[in-house]
Amino acid sequence: MQLTDKEKVDKEKYETVKKIFTAYLEKQELRKTPERFAILEEIYTRGGHFDVESLYISMKNKNYRVSRATVYNTLDLLVACDLVTKHLFGENMARYEKSYGYKQHDHLICSECSKIMEFCDPRVQHIQNMVGELLKFKISHHSLVLYGTCDDQNCTEKQQKNHLVSI
Amino acid sequence: MQLTDKEKVDKEKYETVKKIFTAYLEKQELRKTPERFAILEEIYTRGGHFDVESLYISMKNKNYRVSRATVYNTLDLLVACDLVTKHLFGENMARYEKSYGYKQHDHLICSECSKIMEFCDPRVQHIQNMVGELLKFKISHHSLVLYGTCDDQNCTEKQQKNHLVSI
DNA sequence: CTCGGTGCAAAGCTTTTGCATCCGC
DNA sequence: GCGGATGCAAAAGCTTTGCACCGAG
């Protein structure tokens, strides 16, 4: 079977994160189970932001035998070793995002069509450093989300939730 | 009964927000029910951040007959007319905060003891404006939360969740 | 009098937990 | 083979919904 360029890149990236995850599991004396790697692979070969249920469904659709419990458990491990980032975008549900090899960024969400966009601004880091020093906090990470409505022609049409696009 | 200075200020502030809420209800052609005002009063006479359950319990303890459904419904209205702000601080539960007469601020949360602190930095507003223009979004609001650990002597002792302090 | 709002309880949804079984080490 | 990890299902926790009744306009 022929792979597209994008699929090749994803596959290579997966090989790298697999090594990182393996090292993490060994250091923490956790077992290298096939489920854990299957979940990591699924995350790194699919695109953009996702929630637990859609990841679970994707794997079920591929006839992979996993349980929600294992998905939740593995996501916690992946967040702990910085391969995945967890977001709470004002919904009552967590969203996740692969984070290895992607530069730090923040999010902008359309309240109408739920489109998610990303942006970088170094000032966020400056604020984080300054406020941490001022209030004597060791800041580990931050979450900046801008909420608004986008200009998209399509926006008002597709009011469907969970329709996600990244730039 | 004698009121303290702080209680007087709270009472005066409540009179103001009561007018704002009344105007909002009239404009939206919603009914001015006693429950709605009782909830508003409870919020503006108690301090800091709160969650739905603690607000509900507070009112129950005062023998006020309310239902959780009404609390949720009224909070939505108060958020809609900008008298209350809703936050999702990375817990699976919403936190609320009275917002009339308080200047815009962002939050800093201690991952160990759940202490919540507040800070202001005008650069956040600048970032919001710039990014909105750049990506063609009409930004309505934002959420910036810094996560870390505080220096407090007490911090590691009181690992209890939900212990909140504001500055 | 009308019908929007309320209280109560049941249902919904995401996430966590308990337990028997499985399999990495 | 031991003990951590898994799958499944049940439970937990926050929020929403359905329905009969109440009361604001």
> What are the residues facing A26 on neighbouring strands?
none
What pLDDT, on the 0 to 100 scale, is given for residue B117?
Answer: 93
Query: Could you tell me the distance in Å between the CA of residue A81 and the C1' of nucleotide C19?
Result: 29
The predicted structure's pLDDT at residue A167: 33
The predicted structure's pLDDT at residue A1: 63
Q: In chain A, pLDDT over 70 holds for what percent of residues?
A: 90
Query: Which residues in chain A are closer than 8 Å to B128, comparing Cβ atoms?
Result: 146
* Average pLDDT for B75-100: 94
Query: Residue B152: which region, alpha, beta or left (left: phi > 0; alpha: psi -120 to 50)?
Result: beta
Closest-CA residue of chain B to A87:
B90
Q: Which residue is nearest to nucleotide C17 (CA to C1')?
A: A69
Judge whether A111 is closer than 8 Å to chain B, CB to CB.
Answer: yes
> For A50-94, where are the E strands, in sequence order?
50-51, 84-87
Reading phi first (left if > 0) and then psi (alpha if -120 to 50, else beta), residue A158 is in beta
- How do residues A16-63 score in pLDDT, each as one tens digit? 999 999 999 999 999 999 999 999 999 999 878 999 999 999 999 999
DSSP state of B117: E
Q: Give Cα A6 to chain centroid, integer Å.
A: 18
Q: How far is B147 from chain A (nearest CA, A)?
A: 5
> DSSP strand E in B11-136: where?
50-51, 84-87, 95-98, 106-110, 116-119
Phi-psi region of A77 (alpha: psi -120 to 50; beta: other; left: phi over 0): alpha
The reported pTM is 0.86
Provide the token pair at A72: 């939740």
Domains within chain B, CATH numbers bracketed: 1-102 (1.10.10.10), 105-167 (3.30.1490.190)
Residue at A59: amino acid letter: M
Beta pairing partners, B119: B106
Q: What is the pLDDT of residues B36-46, one digit of tens each?
A: 999 999 999 98
Q: List C-alpha distances in Å: B163 to A120, B51, B111, B116, B158.
A: 33, 12, 11, 9, 8
CA of B89 to C1' of D4 (A): 32
Burial (0-12, 13-18, 19+ Cβ within 10 Å), B25: middle
In this complex, the answer to whether residue A94 has its CB under 7 A from any atom of chain C, a nucleic strand, is yes
CA distance B8 to B14: 10
How many angstroms separate the CA atoms of A117 and A165, rounded? Answer: 7
A131 touches B108 (CB < 8 A): yes
Using the Cα atoms of residue B95, residue A137, residue A103 and residue A100 in order, give the sign of their dihedral. negative
Q: Is strand D within 7 Å of residue A143 (CB)?
A: no
Q: Can you read off the two tokens belonging to residue B30? A: 């919603």
Q: What are phi and psi of A129, to 5 degrees?
A: -65, -45
B92 and A90: CB-CB below 8 Å?
Answer: no
Closest Cα of chain A to B151: distance in Å? 6
- CB burial of B1-23 (b: ≥16 within 10 Å; e: otherwise) equals eeeeeeeeebeebbeebbeebee
Residues A131, B146: C-beta atoms closer than 8 Å? yes
pLDDT, tens digit (0-9, with 9 covering 90-100), for A59-85: 999 999 999 999 999 999 999 999 999
> What would the pLDDT profile of A124-154 be if each residue is shown by its tens digit?
999 999 999 999 999 999 999 999 998 776 6
Phi, psi of B139, deg, nearest 5:
-80, 130
Which of A39, A151, A143 has the alpha carbon at shortest distance from B142? A143
Distance A74 CA to C14 C1' (A): 16
